Structure 1
Amino acid sequence: MGAANLISSMPSWALFALLVIIGVLATQVGFWMGRRRHQTEIKESTAHISTAVSAILGLLSFMLGFTFSTTSSRFAERKGLVISQANAIGTSYLRAGLLPDKQKITIRKLYAEYTDLLLKMPEATDIKPLFDRRDHIHMLIWEQAISLEKEKDFPPAIISLFITSVNQIFDLTEERNTVALVFRIPDALWRALFLLNAMSMFAFGYQKGINGNHKSFGFPILPIAYAIVIVLIADMDSTSFRRFKVSQQPLINLQKMIRMSTP
C-alpha cells in the first residue's frame, strides 16, 4: 500500500493524533539534545541556529502551501465536473425525446438509472459494482445510438446531435474518474512532507534547548498547527467520499427533472 492510500484510509482523527504525536516527540527529542548541548562547554551561535530553524520552518510552510493549493484546485475541478456531467446528461436526455419511440423509451430509462447510480457512488462502501454497472449502461446507450442508423427516414442531424451528447457524457465520466481517483498527491511528496514536518519540529525543539529555555506553551501548539493543515490536505486529496464531499446538488436536480418527465 502506497503512502497516499495509507493516509487516505486513515480516519481524520487518527491521522491528526499520529501527526501530533510525531511532532511532539520530535520536538522533545530536539529539546533534549539541545539541552545536552547547552550544558556542555561547547557553545553554538544562537543566531546561526535561529536562522536555520526559520529556514526549515519556512520551507515546510511553503511545501504545505503549495500542496494545499494544488489539492484545493483539484477539489474545485471535481465540483465543476459534477456540474458539467449533470448538464451533459440532461442535454442528452432531452435530445433523446426527439428520437423514435423505440430508442427514446429505452434510452431515457437508462439515463434515469444512470443518474440514480451516480448519486449512490459518494455514499457507497464498495464502489466497484457501481462502476461496472455504469460502464455497462454506457454500452447499452451506445448500442441504442448505433441502432439509429437503421432509421433511414429519420433526420441525420438529430441523430448526430444525440450521438455528440452521448460522447460528451462518456468523456466527462472518464475525466471525472481521472481527476477524482488518479490525480492525487504522489507518495514521494507525502513522505517528504512527513519527514520535513518531523525535522522542523526537531529543529524547533533543539533551538529551545540550546537557548536554555524551559518547556513552553509553543511546544505542543506548533505540531498541532501543522497537523491541522496536513489533515486538511489529506482530507481533500482522499479518494474516500466521506471527506470533503463534493455537492451532488446538480445531479439531484437532474434526477428530479427526469422523474417529473418520465411517465
Structure 2
Amino acid sequence: MIADELFHSIPLAAIYIFTVLLVLATMGLGFHLGHRYIRTRGTEKEPSIGSAVTATLGLLAFLLAFTFNMTASRYNDRKALLLDEVNAIHTAYLHADFLQPKSARKAQVLLADYAELRDFNPRVDEVTPEGLAQSVAIQDQLWALIDEHIAQDHNAGYLRHFVEPVTNLINSHNSRIVVGLEYRIPGPIWIALYILTGLAMLAIGFQFGVSRGGSIQLAVTLGLTFATVILLIADLDRATEGVIIVDQRPMAEMSLILEASEARRANSPDPP
C-alpha cells in the first residue's frame, strides 16, 4: 500500500517533529473550542467531559501498547534470526569436512567469504540488491557442491551433516530479508494511531478550555511524551535505521573466527 511505503520512508526526526506539532495543534484547537463553548453555552458538567477524555486516552493507550508489542516482537525475531544464521554458518563450516577433501576446502572458503559478506554495519552499510545477490550466489555454489556429491553417490549420512546447516543458512537468510526489510507496521495502523492521538489531545484541550485550566508547559510535556513513544515504535519498526538496531557483533565475531581458521589452514603444511 502507498501508506505503508510513505510511513516507512519518512525520516524519524520528521516523525518526531510532526507528532509534537500534531499534539500541540489539536490540544490548542480543543482548548479554543472548550473556551468558546463555555462562553456561549455556560458551564459543562465536569464528570461527563472527564469520562470522555478517560475513554479516549484508554483507547489510545491500548493502540500504543498493541503497536509497541508488534514492533518489539519483530525486533526480538530479528535478533534470533541473526543468531540462527551465525550458528548455521559455523556449523556448515565445521561439517564441510564430511565432503570430499577438495570440495570441503572450497566449501570452507565460500563460507568464510559468506560470513565476511554478511558482516555489515546497518548504520553505515546500505543493504543493496547487489549485496543480497552476492549472498544468494554463494548459497547456489554451496548447493552445487551438494548436487555434485549426490551425483557421485557420496555417503548419504555424511552428506546430511552438511546439507542440514546449509539449508538452515539459506532459510535464515530468507527469513532475515522478510522480517527485517519487508515486515512493517501496516499503514492503516499508523493512520489510526495518529487519528486517535489527535482526538485524544483534542479532548484534553477541550477539557482544559471548559475548566479554564491547563498551561503551555503541560501541553508541551504531553507533546514530547507522546512523540517520544511514537518515535520509539517507529524506530523499532525499522531494521536498518535509527538508534535501536540489532547488534551485529555475533556475525562480526564469526567472520573473524573463520578468517583466523582460514589463515591457520593456509599456513599449515600440506598433508603428505
Shorter-chain TM-score bucket reads over 0.9
Match of residue 128 from structure 2: 127
Of stretches 166-175 and 40-49 in structure 1, the one that deviates more from structure 2 is 40-49
Note if contact 1:121-1:127 (Cα within 8 Å) is conserved in structure 2.
no
Aligned match of 1:235 = 235
Instruction: Quote the Cα distance in structure 2 between the aligned partners of 1:187 and 1:128.
Output: 24
Please identify, of 39-48 and 84-93, the stretch whose mean Cα deviation from structure 2 is larger: 39-48
CA distance in 2, matches of 1:171, 1:202: 48
**Deviation of 1:186 (Å):** 0.9
- Map 1:63-74 to 2 at 5 A: 63-74=63-74
Consecutive aligned runs of 4 or more in structure 1 exceeding 4 Å deviation: none
Q: 1:257 maps to what in 2?
A: 257
Aligned residues: 262
| CA drift at 1:248 | 1.2
2:251 partner amino acid: L
Kept in 2: contact 1:8–1:235 (CA 8 A):
no
Q: Is 1:178 matched up with 2:178?
A: yes
1:61 aligns with 2:68: no
Q: Which moved more, 1:207-216 or 1:26-35?
A: 207-216
Post-superposition Cα deviations, 1:48-67, rounded to whole Å, max 9, x if no partner, equal 01110111011111110111
Matched AA of 1:48: S
TM-score (norm 2): 0.90
Q: Output the TM-score relative to the length of structure 1.
A: 0.93
State whether residues 115 and 255 of structure 2, in contact with CA within 8 Å, keep that contact through their aligned partners in structure 1: yes
1:246 aligns with 2:246: yes
SS of the aligned residue for 1:120 comes to coil
Q: What is residue 200 of structure 2 aligned with on the other side? A: 200
Q: Measure, in 1, the Cα distance between the counterparts of 2:91 and 2:241.
A: 27
State the identity %: 30
Show the counterpart of 1:166.
166
C-alpha deviation, 1:77, in angstroms: 1.4
How far did 1:150 drift?
A: 4.0
- The offset of 1:12, in angstroms, is 2.5
Give 1:70 deviation, angstroms: 1.7
Query: Which residue does 1:140 correspond to in 2?
Result: 141
List per-residue Cα deviations over 1:68-93 (Å, max 9, x = no partner). Answer: 11211110111111111100110001
Is 1:215 the counterpart of 2:181? The answer is no
- Cα offset, 1:126, TM superposition: 4.9
Please, which moves more after superposition, 122-131 or 244-253? 122-131
* Structure 1 Cα separation of the partners of residues 51 and 114 of structure 2: 58
Contact 1:8 1:239 in 2 (8 A): no
| Counterpart position of 2:32 | 32
How far the C-alpha of 1:214 sits from its partner, in A, is 5.4
Moved more, 23-32 or 4-13: 4-13
Q: Decide which moves more: 245-254 or 21-30.
A: 245-254
Contact 2:37–2:210 (CA<8 Å) still a contact in 1? Answer: yes
Q: 1:214 to 1:177 in 2, by over 3 A?
A: closer
Following superposition of structure 1 onto structure 2, how do residues 88-99 of structure 1 map, counting pairs within 5 Å?
88-99=88-99
**Shift in Å, 1:44:** 2.3
Kept after mapping to 2: 8 A contact 1:9/1:240:
no
Contact persistence 1:38–1:210 (CA under 8 A):
yes
Gaps of 5+ in 2: 267-272
The residue type paired with residue 130 of structure 2 is: P
What amino acid is the match of 1:141?
L
Give the deviation of 1:116 after TM superposition: 1.4
Shift, 1:102, TM fit: 2.1
